[in-house]
Amino acid sequence: MDALIELKNVTVKFPVKPSFIDVLKGKPQRVVHAVNGVDLTVMPGEIIALVGESGSGKTTLGKAINALHPSEVVGGTICFEGEPIFGTDGKLKPGYREKVAMIFQDPYQSLNPKQTIEKIVAEPLMIQQKNLSRDKMRASVVTALEQAGLTPGESFLNRYPHELSGGQRQRVVIAGALIVKPKLIIADEPVSMLDVSIRSEILKLLMELRERQQIAYLFITHDIALAWAIADKIAVMYLGTILEYGSAENVIQSPQNPYTQALIEIMPKMKMRRSEKRALLTGEIPDPIDLPKGCVFQSRCPRAADGCMHEKPKLTLVGEAHYSVCECRLEEMRVNE
């Protein structure tokens, strides 16, 4: 099967606006290295979870795939069904926006409170297909709403976001993504703001859509347990770099990278463990302006050695279709435990 999306050495760099004094002093332009050389492949109908802390660059990468950044800040190549998404003139290929949709985190902020549900859901389609008749447009909106579990679709058309519950709003957001009939949905923390009872319903809907319409997902989350529950593959991201990648089972059951191990360990486990001393990473992700030489995780890594400071480790095969930038000390670790 051919890949749906293929990323090769993708980078996203945002130039920092220099201060007047810096310009006078002739200081070099500073750059935020949000994404640093990511290779990733998404197959049709596949769920890939992109896991990492705030500041790991996971949302920036998601937006890069959705072509929401200006093309000049994005480096490397992003191919959709084998073709680069940007033409040689730097313009987005027509039709791409109908193939990839994005769902954002907060259903309270991502819907315009002054528009009817019909208008909100129809908007992406109106931009894509300008000369669609009103009736056809309405029919598409109703279909999308019903696919998102809002039945009957007609009854929602003239309502406003404030009349809906949190779960219904997130369904409206999903309907807005579905209306263009995408092959890939980039879901950025789609359930982290939702209440327990609604969370699983929305997840169930997303999984059903994959079954019915072969939609692939790039599921962005900081919750590695959720990633494990629903994804086929997991990519663990840190400071714009993928540190570990593989099938959800491999990554969770035999994590090779110390960062993945830390993320798994701190996840609540529904058992009493207040007296246990846990290996907790201190501090936060460092500033992505000055990237460290060597491994990006060195400053917080509990097992960092001299070698980690100098050489940038590469993703290498550590098991069946399982890659990690770090495996050297796994044996050692087992001995220590």
Partner 1 sequence: MALLEVDSLKIAFELTGGKRLKAVNGISFSLDEGETLALVGESGSGKTTAALSLMRLLPKNAVIDGGEIRYKQRDVLTAPEGMIQKLRWKEIAMIFQGAMNALNPVLTIEKQMVEAILLHETVSNEAAYARAEMLMRRVEIDPKRLKQYPHQFSGGMRQRVMIAMALACEPKIVIGDEPTTALDVMVQAQIFELLESLKKEMGLSMILITHDLSILGDICDKVAVMYAGEIVESGSVEAIYEDARHPYTQKLLAAYPIIGKKRGLPDFIPGQPLDMTKPVQGCAFYSRCHKAMPICLSRPPLRTVEGAHQFLCHLEGEA
What is the rounded distance in angstroms from the CA atom of residue 29 to the CA atom of residue 16? 7
∠ CA(290), CA(293), CA(299), 5° rounding?
Answer: 80
- The answer to whether 214 and 185 are in contact (CB under 8 A) is no
Write out the binding residues for partner 1, residues 208-237 only, by CB under 8 A. 222-226, 228-230
Contacting residue, 199, 213, 291, 327, with partner 1 by CB under 8 A = 199
Contacting residue, 262, 296, 308, 325, with partner 1 by CB under 8 A = 262
Q: Under the criterion CB under 8 A, does residue 269 sit at the interface with partner 1?
A: yes
CB under 8 A: which stretch of 7-15, 81-89, 262-270, 305-313 binds partner 1? Answer: 262-270
What is the rounded distance in angstroms from the CA atom of residue 265 to the CA atom of residue 278? 8
Tell me, by CB under 8 A, how many residues bind partner 1.
42
Nearest residue to 103 via CA among 78, 124, 75: 124
For residue 133, the minimal CB distance to partner 1 (Å) is 36
CB under 8 A: which stretch of 15-23, 155-163, 275-283, 329-337 binds partner 1? Answer: 275-283
Give the DSSP letter string of 31-54.
EEEEEEEEEEEE-TT-EEEEE--T
What is the rounded distance in angstroms from the CA atom of residue 187 to the CA atom of residue 171? 13
For residue 280, the minimal CB distance to partner 1 (Å) is 6
Q: Under the criterion CB under 8 A, does residue 274 sit at the interface with partner 1?
A: yes
Helix (H) or strand (E) holding 331: helix 330-336
What is the rounded distance in angstroms from the CA atom of residue 298 to the CA atom of residue 259? 10
Q: What is the DSSP letter of 103?
A: E
Q: What is the DSSP letter of 229?
A: H
For residue 63, the minimal CB distance to partner 1 (Å) is 18
Tokens 């001299």 — which residue?
306
Cα separations in angstroms, 140 against 19, 122, 124, 177: 49, 8, 11, 12
What is the rounded distance in angstroms from the CA atom of residue 323 to the CA atom of residue 18? 38
CA of residue 313 relative to chain centroid, distance: 23
Write out the binding residues for partner 1, residues 141-170 only, by CB under 8 A. 165-166
Contacting residue, 17, 54, 72, 331, with partner 1 by CB under 8 A = 54
Q: Under the criterion CB under 8 A, does residue 282 sit at the interface with partner 1?
A: yes
Q: Under the criterion CB under 8 A, does residue 272 sit at the interface with partner 1?
A: yes
Q: Under the criterion CB under 8 A, does residue 17 sit at the interface with partner 1?
A: no
Cα separations in angstroms, 297 against 238, 245, 281: 7, 16, 11
CB under 8 A: which stretch of 27-35, 50-58, 70-78, 117-125 binds partner 1? Answer: 50-58
Identify which of residues 82 and 268 has a Cβ nearer to partner 1 in the complex: 268
Identify which of residues 59 and 147 has a Cβ nearer to partner 1 in the complex: 59
For residue 258, the minimal CB distance to partner 1 (Å) is 13
CB under 8 A: which stretch of 113-121, 134-142, 273-281, 304-312 binds partner 1? Answer: 273-281
Q: Under the criterion CB under 8 A, does residue 197 sit at the interface with partner 1?
A: yes
Give the CB-side neighbour count of residue 271, counting CA atoms within 13 A. Answer: 6
- 3-class DSSP assignment, residue 57: coil
What is the rounded distance in angstroms from the CA atom of residue 300 to the CA atom of residue 302? 6
Contacting residue, 196, 320, 331, 334, with partner 1 by CB under 8 A = 196
Identify which of residues 137 and 230 has a Cβ nearer to partner 1 in the complex: 230
For residue 90, the minimal CB distance to partner 1 (Å) is 34
CB under 8 A: which stretch of 25-33, 81-89, 139-147, 271-279 binds partner 1? Answer: 271-279
Q: Which residues here bind partner 1, judged by CB under 8 A?
A: 53-55, 165-166, 195-197, 199-201, 203-204, 207, 222-226, 228-230, 248-249, 252, 262-264, 266-274, 278, 280-282, 284
